[in-house]
C-alpha cells in the first residue's frame, strides 16, 4: 500500500487519507465534502514516508534535516513553517529529525545540520548546509520548478 498522509478536516474534524502524489493538491473531505487545501505545514518525514513523497510528489520538495538539540535548526524552524505556508500548492516542505532517524541522515549523507535538500521528480536537485533565509529557500524551490505567484 502506498504512503498516505492523514489530514484532519477543519470543518468536521474527520481524518482524511491523502496519497503522497496529492499532498500539494486541493481536495474534498470524504465525510463533509468541505475543501481540503494543499499541505501548508512542514510534514514530519521518517523512513516510512520520505521516499514515497519524494518519488510521488508532483511539485518540488524541500527537506529540512535537523535535530532538537541544534540551535541553528531551532532558529530555522519558524522560517521553515512560514515557507510551507507560503509555498502551499506549489511545493512541499518536509522535516527529518536526524536524531530520531539516523538511518535517513546516513542514507542522504548528512554531515552537518541544518541541512536542506531540494528534490524534483524523485531526484535530488540541490542541497545546502547551514542557515539560509526563507527567500533563498523559496528561490531553490522556484528554480526546481515551483510556480511563482
Nearest CA-CA partner of 93 in 5, 34, 11: 5
CA-wise closest residue to 23 among 93, 122, 103, 83: 93
Reading across the β-sheet that carries 61-66, which strands appear in turn?
Answer: 43-44, 92-97, 61-66, 115-120, 123-129
Q: Which residues are catalytic?
A: 70, 73
- The Cα 39–Cα 66 span in angstroms is 20
Amino acid at each position: 500500500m502506498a504512503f498516505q498522509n492523514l489530514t484532519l478536516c477543519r470543518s468536521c474534524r474527520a481524518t482524511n487519507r491523502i496519497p503522497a502524489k496529492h499532498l500539494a493538491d486541493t481536495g474534498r473531505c470524504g465525510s463533509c465534502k468541505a475543501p481540503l487545501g494543499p499541505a501548508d505545514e512542514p510534514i514530519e518525514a521518517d523512513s516510512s514516508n520520505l521516499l514515497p513523497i519524494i518519488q510521488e510528489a508532483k511539485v518540488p520538495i524541500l527537506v529540512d534535516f535537523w535535530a532538537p538539540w541544534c540551535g541553528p535548526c531551532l532558529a530555522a524552524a519558524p522560517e521553515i513553517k512560514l515557507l510551507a505556508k507560503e509555498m502551499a500548492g506549489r511545493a512541499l516542505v518536509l522535516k527529518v529529525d536526524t536524531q530520531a532517524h539516523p538511518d535517513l541522515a546516513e542514507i542522504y549523507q548528512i554531515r552537518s545540520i541544518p541541512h536542506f535538500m531540494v528534490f524534483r521528480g524523485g531526484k535530488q536537485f540541490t542541497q545546502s548546509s547551514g542557515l539560509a533565509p526563507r527567500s533563498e529557500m523559496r528561490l531553490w524551490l522556484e528554480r526546481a520548478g515551483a510556480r511563482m505567484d
